[in-house]
Amino acid sequence: MLKKIIAPFLGFGLLASPVLAKEPAAKVKDADPALWVVKDDDTTIYLFGTFHALTPDLGWFDDAVREAFDKSDKAVFELDSSDTATIQAAARRHGFSKGPQPFTAKMSAKDKAAYDAAMAKLGLPPTAFDRLKPWLAAVTLTTLSAQKAGFDPQQGAEATLIDAARKAGKKIGTLETAEEQLGFFDALTETQQIELLNQAVEEVEKPSDTLNRMITYWSEGKPDALGKLINEELLETPGLAKTILFDRNERWAKQIKAMLDTPGTVFVAVGAGHLAGPNDVQDDLAKLGVKAVRVQYD
């Protein structure tokens, strides 16, 4: 389940991790991710779902997505994932444990053995994350596993869009701070955090299976299928779903509605999971009397 949380919801860079060398793709696959638009008389807001890490063979930043981005005066993201110093500082504040024992001391013998095997598979000593809280160990393990499978944060939608916005001289805004975003994970109980870690360990054995399915739905512009895939397991943990997904969707919808008070064109890019499935940002906008319309393109 953890990949279903990390990949389509969050846009942060975490602790320094090895970045895979970029290899030229033999053939670029055309991708047409979903795009929505919100309008009033003098303001246009585009809504686009992202993935933090992608493979280099996807051609998605073109057609209607590129046109909407180029028209925009401002680009708004969950947070500025290029500000790694701020993000890593927040990760140290929220993700490092001050307890006398590492979290591994609280794992069952079976779970600890599986954890040690997963770490070995990634070329890491079993004590590498001992200073971390379980949630940060889980996220880092998942990130490294995805990178090993060929999913590169430098190829991710956030990195591409933020770089393009800076080069174009666009204003850049954020919906959250790194403190807020990482604080959502830190607020989970230790039991919930260890459960996330156990799920991350299971996924090391097949790191690309879930991500490939999710990114296929995203590339084909099928947010309903993506939402179903995400929610089928996420909703089994309602507390986590509320914290990571639903509460944030509601807050962001209010922020997006407020953007309509300022004339201009804005490109809003958030994790694709926030724009897919029931109670997504579009549903919360509708509750506020704001209609998001799907942009049709091939």
pLDDT in tens, 108-117: 999 999 999 9
Residue 54 gets which letter from DSSP?
Answer: B
For residue range 117-147, what is the model confidence (pLDDT) as tens digits? Answer: 999 999 999 999 999 999 999 989 988 888 8
CA–CA separation, 192 and 202 (whole Å):
16
pLDDT band at residue 18, thresholds of 50, 70 and 90? very low
**Parallel, antiparallel or unpaired: strands 35-39 and 293-294:** antiparallel
20 lies in some domain: no
For the question of whether the overall pTM of this predicted structure is more than 0.95, the answer is no
Whole-number pLDDT of residue 58: 93
63 lies in some domain: no
CA pseudo-torsion sign 274, 280, 283, 289: negative
How many angstroms separate the Cα of 108 from the Cα of each of 116, 146, 166, 261, 265? Answer: 12, 25, 48, 54, 53
Strand residues in 85-191 grouped as ranges (E): 171-174
Nearest-5° angle of CA 1, CA 46, CA 34? 45
CA atoms within 13 A on the CB side of 253: 22
23 lies in some domain: no
**Which of 18-27, 61-70, 183-192 holds the top average pLDDT?**
61-70
Whole-number pLDDT of residue 21: 37
Q: Mean pLDDT, to the nearest integer, of 75-99?
A: 91
pLDDT band at residue 22, thresholds of 50, 70 and 90? very low
**Parallel, antiparallel or unpaired: strands 74-77 and 264-271:** parallel
| 76 Cβ contact partners less than 8 Å away, ≥ 6 residues apart | 172, 173, 174, 175, 259, 266, 267, 268, 269
27 lies in some domain: no
| 215 Cβ contact partners less than 8 Å away, ≥ 6 residues apart | 7, 51, 54, 55, 58
273 lies in some domain: yes
- The residue type at 1: M
Q: Which domain holds residue 45?
A: 2-7+32-56+69-222+237-294
- The residue type at 9: F
**Which of 106-115, 190-199, 228-237 holds the top average pLDDT?**
106-115
Helix axes 190-203, 2-9, angle to 10 degrees: 90
Whole-number pLDDT of residue 3: 54
Residue 123 gets which letter from DSSP?
Answer: T
Residue with the larger pLDDT of the pair 164 and 243: 164
149 lies in some domain: yes
Percent of the chain with pLDDT over 70: 89
Whole-number pLDDT of residue 6: 55
Whole-number pLDDT of residue 147: 85
Q: What's the distance, CA 166 to chain centroid?
A: 21
Tell me how many domains the chain contains: 1
189 lies in some domain: yes
Least reliable range by pLDDT among 19-23, 44-48, 112-116, 187-191: 19-23
242 lies in some domain: yes
Question: Cβ–Cβ contacts within 10 Å for residue 278, how many?
Answer: 11
Tokens of 123: 């070329």
296, exposed or middle or buried, with CB in 10 Å at 0-12, 13-18, 19+? exposed
